[in-house]
Amino acid sequence: MGSVTNLLALLVLALLAGGEASEGPAHTNNWAVLVCTSRYWFNYRHMANTLSLYRTVKRLGIPDDHIILMLADDMACNARNKYPAQVFNNEDHRLNLYGDNVEVDYRGYEVTVENFLRLLTGRHDAAVPRSKRLISDENSNILLYMTGHGGDQFLKFQDAEDIQSNDLADAFAQMYEKKRYRELLVMVDTCQAATLHSQLYSPGVFAVGSSLKGENSYSHHLDADVGVTVVDRFTYYTLQFFENLEIFSNTTLQSLLQTYNPKLLDSHINYRSDLFARPLDQVLLTDFFGSVMEVEHTKSSTQMYAEFVDVNVYEPGEDDIELYKPSVNIPVNEETIADLKPSPEQGIEGLISIAGMFQSDLNNYDLPVVIGVLGLAFAVSLVSSIYPYSPFKI
């Protein structure tokens, strides 16, 4: 009977441990994969959509080396563009999305279904550079944004091929098995976008689409100077929401989803949260669209010296250019170096005691000099202990 009781207790502990493990640690890094799958001038808005999200995630803290930007065409350099080297998402032309700091990782005919799937799963040729790789891990939160022309369970690439919903589902499954993400947020702006996430089955994935099956995803407005529409409705209202968001905001994913108005979109968004563990009202938008992480402070060398070197900070005068006045100063000469030699057994403790010897009457040297002298003495002592006949032996 006792053995049965012990076995039940172990099972309960295992279940509790499993429940705690499923929560896991907070994510330690963020990645964004932003994909425009359309080419040709009349699809200008799809490139503007993607560049707008690119600007937003950079503003919220995700660095370029953690953003993969895929643009199927270069509207900025198109001969029809009245504003060369510029792309706008609004007819007031206030913001050039194609500024000096845009780093495109996949351009033109590099944007293919094969390259996209290789990017997600990490199955690259050896020659593919680091800048074209998604170097995520099990603690990564990944934002995947896709825009282009689509239909029932597919999204077109370059008007030449398409990716199916089951292709996406299998790619995410490989990512999960290879521990390439902690949580994955998928946002798609295309016609019948919701059908793209209908086949997903991998844990930790949240997906939102701009339109239901049978619905179109519409553009927002036309720019008469450019001659084409410059942004889609779903992306436009997403950007409008993010313009008021700061990097340390506590705004949640649920707040964003509640702002989408079917009358303004002329379609109905749809999202899947059944694979996602956290409640949406507890998911910060910066968990995916930004890069805000807790910093763990560790004991550094500066803290170690602070234990035995007293540094007094004082207010500098008008003609005083020094910011710090250390209360420890050591005259540097041969006698000082000889006296500073600790025994090999003393190590750091010997250096600390030496600093204490000189603390009372040395007042004119900077802290870097103190550190340099102590470091030199310790290095000489170490060499002497290892090599008894070393020419550096004092």
Other C-beta atoms within 10 Å of 357: how many? Answer: 12
Which whole-number Å values give the CA distances from 281 to 101, 182, 237, in the listed order?
34, 18, 20
Strand-pairing partners, residue 135, are none
DSSP state of 190: S
DSSP states of 106-154:
EEGGG--HHHHHHHHHT---TTS-GGGS----TTEEEEEEEES-EETTE
Residue with tokens 């209202």: 237
Cα angle: 143, vertex 53, 183; to 5 degrees: 10
Measuring CA to CA, which residue among 195, 188, 198, 201 is closest to residue 234? Answer: 188
Q: In whole angstroms, what is the distance from residue 51 CA to residue 88 CA?
A: 9
CA triple 183-45-56, angle to 5 deg: 40
Instruction: Pick the closest to residue 44 from 105, 106, 91, 101 (CA basis).
Output: 91
- Tell me which residues are annotated as active site: 149, 191
Residues in the chain: 394
Torsion of CA 246, 217, 189, 245, to 10 degrees: 0
Coil/strand/helix, residue 14: helix
User: What single-letter amino acid sits at 45?
Assistant: R
b/e per residue 327-350 (b: at least 16 CB within 10 A): ebbbeeeeeeeeebbbeeeeeeeb
Q: Encoding tokens for residue 56?
A: 């937003």
